[in-house]
Structure 1
Amino acid sequence: MTFFVKEDVSERGGNNAGHTVVVDGKEYDFHLFPSGIINPKAISFIVFDFHQAVDGLQEVQRQAQEGKKADTPRGYAEKIRPMVRDGVYFMYEALHGSPKKILVEGANAALLDIDFGTYPFVTSSNCTVGGVCTGLGVPPQHVGDVYGVVKAYTTRVGIGAFPTEQINEIGDLLQSRGHEWGVTTGRKRRCGWLDLVILKYAHMINGFTALALTKLDILDVLDEIKIGVAYKLGGKRIPYFPANQEILQKVEVEYETMPGWKTDTTGARKWEDLPPKAQNYIRCVENHVGVPAENLGELQI
């Protein structure tokens, strides 16, 4: 059956269980992999223990090149021991103690998620709301409101497909006004128009209850503003976000153009403080994604 389905998913967490599959008279024994691995079109990512050893050696080499003394893992352990608690117990006590609000902050972005991002240009962990469960040991029923934090335009650090990227004066303006430099790497971020195809895809994965739209004021000086509302492939709209990088590199973006508001919005603290054209921009985003925007930087809606 693995040759006739699009997805083959294994829910096993260990190699203690196994099963046998026979194809064309050849027998395959599986423990960790789903049987779909025998499909020649399958993609599987394999990580061995020696990858961790290589990472450690590379870190020692990097510090030596910088003229620093590389601490052993044991040395680091003693330094941080007083500051470490078992996260499962810590979160359990927080969730079952006196009622309180708990804010969980994610890192990176949905498209850098190891499972749902634009592989291979991703990070090594879960950046989606699922990371709350896998990273903190929090049961799913304790996840409450999910805020999708999104800029009023789109950025990316490093290589990887970026359909709405503007390699022109618009991209330069967004980069300059938005001070778009990677916090960790110091690299200049690539900038482009807001991509609602990506935002809707992120919503499908995370189930946003509201959007926190940031950096709206960066768009204050533009005469007109474009929003990417759909992708086309071969001249036809495609109703999905391509997981394949080769396809994503080929898509054409369908834009909706809106007039700029040409007004300083940095002092806006209430919805009524925003010019009507800025309000229209926000409503356009809400209507396409199907999620209300409740926060705009310091402005509450």
Structure 2
Amino acid sequence: MKNTVVLGTQWGDEGKGKLVDLLSENYEAVVRFQGGNNAGHTIVIGENTYKLRLIPSGIFHQKTCILGNGVVIDPKVLLEEFDILQKAGVGIEKLYISERAQVIMPYHKVWEGIEENHRGKNKIGTTLKGIGPCYSDKISRNGVRICDICDKDQLRKRLEIVFPLKQKTIEAHGEMSPTLDEICEQYTKYGELLKKHVTSTSLLLEEYIASKKPILFEGAQGVFLDIDHGIYPFVTSSNTCAGAASLGSGVPPSSLHNIVGVVKAYTTRVGGGPFPTELEDEIGERLGTVGQEFGTVTGRKRRCGWLDTVLLKCTHRINGLTSIALTKLDVLSGIEEIKICTKYHYKDQVIDHFPNSLSIIEELEPVYKTLPGWTEDITMCKNFDDLPDNCKAYIKEIELLLDVSVDIISVGPERSQTIFK
């Protein structure tokens, strides 16, 4: 079995959690390699629904689950997830946290609120979870790591260096943060509760690779929220692409074999920023209602639009997708005509790639190919041949446009509602 990276190909919310849950059974370890609790995934198992923000859904299969060094961790949120799993009878003994992972501190959340309010009408739409300021501190060498909160003396030494300036800056904007003593006391308690899960996860993964135990790498958000390759500045604060799986977990790039891109059968995004295929009409409203398009973490309504293959071609170019998992295909049932964006018009030009300039992106007009829809309920289909002809034609068109095979098809939220083509 080869090691596999699962990533979102659009703006996140593609259904990665369900796919990781399904695939985990065939892997020995599942690794989250970037992001924080600003992203979430919903897992439906029978009549039970679980919503996690940090811990990989492979935990439900009792696989080794790892939060890599590229993840930023809010200890309070992580401990809340411990409680959710323990109440559900799911063991967390095989959960490991990189000692190098950065910690979200109280002042990160306060500062992010100050920044977002300062932007006024130009707000990015951040989740206000402190993710961006935490990554900023990491890069400016002012961060606090998991290994720091597991050592009371080290934590105080660290905060005595980085906290005074944070406190002065926050107070200068009329806001307040917990004191150094309060933070030390609370985060030392978090460290004590997490300590037994903390280790050098890079060394642990090296053992798995040497033993040829297959590993599944799980990304958060989507490629078009990548800090480098997304629509800047409407992006997240980390690299969401396949290459980040190596950096964010401490394994060599040569150990990443398969890159599975999760593609929602239409397109959604949360927050501000350009969205060329957005539908602000009855069909857009229908997609949101039928698809239950509300953020797992924020509860915010997602913007909906037609599938954008120009966007997806860019994702493929950057990540080298080896296959596609197509999700929420059932949401399109009952729509008379289905459109796929194949290129854009910009003034008098035809563009077949995704541009970098924000001013150009804001003026793009999608060029669509129209396909006939289907009225049949596909939620009980078990095989590709069971799908309506028009539905199969839609899938084949996606494969043709992207030159990537659609190997997994989700026709509903439950594990059983999945076709392996």
Report the TM-score, using the length of structure 2 for normalisation: 0.56
Where does 1:28-39 land on structure 2 (aligned, <5 Å)? none
- For 2:256 and 2:177, the matched residues in 1 are separated by 40
- For 1:110 and 1:149, the matched residues in 2 are separated by 10
Partner in structure 2 of residue 6 of structure 1: none
Partner in structure 1 of residue 334 of structure 2: 221
Instruction: Report the residue type matching 2:195 in the other structure.
Output: R
Q: Give the deviation of 1:79 after TM superposition.
A: 2.1
1:133 to 246, 256, 270: 246
- For 2:350 and 2:369, the matched residues in 1 are separated by 14
C-alpha deviations, 1:169-189, integer Å up to 9, x for none?
A: 111111111111111111111
C-alpha deviations, 1:47-99, integer Å up to 9, x for none?
A: 645698589767xx7997xxxx86643332222111111121111111112x3
Where does 1:1-301 land on structure 2 (aligned, <5 Å)? 48-49=140-141, 72-97=186-211, 99-297=212-410, 298-301=418-421
Q: Give the deviation of 1:152 after TM superposition.
A: 0.2
- For 2:384 and 2:309, the matched residues in 1 are separated by 22
- Is the contact made by 2:310 and 2:352 (CA closer than 8 Å) also made in structure 1? no
Range with bigger deviation, 251-260 or 70-79: 70-79
* Identical aligned residues as a percent: 41
- Is the contact made by 2:330 and 2:377 (CA closer than 8 Å) also made in structure 1? yes
Q: Give the deviation of 1:146 after TM superposition.
A: 0.8
Instruction: Report the residue type matching 2:229 in the other structure.
Output: F
Sort the Cα spacing of 1:90 and 1:174 in 2 relative to 1 into closer, same or farther, 3 A.
same
Q: Give the deviation of 1:291 after TM superposition.
A: 0.3
- For 2:166 and 2:235, the matched residues in 1 are separated by 20
Q: Give the deviation of 1:101 after TM superposition.
A: 2.2
- For 2:363 and 2:143, the matched residues in 1 are separated by 33
Instruction: Report the residue type matching 1:195 in the other structure.
Output: D
- For 2:255 and 2:390, the matched residues in 1 are separated by 38
Partner in structure 2 of residue 27 of structure 1: none
C-alpha deviations, 1:97-141, integer Å up to 9, x for none?
A: 2x3321111110001111111111111111110111110011111
Higher relative contact order (CA 8 A, sep 6+): 2
Partner in structure 2 of residue 17 of structure 1: none
- For 1:241 and 1:292, the matched residues in 2 are separated by 22
List alignment gaps of at least 5 residues for structure 2: 1-135, 145-161, 411-417
C-alpha deviations, 1:203-235, integer Å up to 9, x for none?
A: 111100010000100000101101111011113
**Aligned length in residues:** 249
Sort the Cα spacing of 1:290 and 1:247 in 2 relative to 1 into closer, same or farther, 3 A.
same
SS at match of 1:105: strand
List alignment gaps of at least 5 residues for structure 1: 1-45
C-alpha deviations, 1:241-292, integer Å up to 9, x for none?
A: 1122111111110000111011111111111101110011001111011101
User: Which structure dedicates a bigger proportion of its chain to helix?
Assistant: 2
SS at match of 2:235: coil
- For 1:73 and 1:202, the matched residues in 2 are separated by 39
Report the TM-score, using the length of structure 1 for normalisation: 0.77
Partner in structure 2 of residue 9 of structure 1: none
- For 1:56 and 1:184, the matched residues in 2 are separated by 27
C-alpha deviations, 1:141-167, integer Å up to 9, x for none?
A: 111111100100000010011000001
Instruction: Report the residue type matching 1:150 in the other structure.
Output: V
Instruction: Report the residue type matching 1:236 in the other structure.
Output: Q
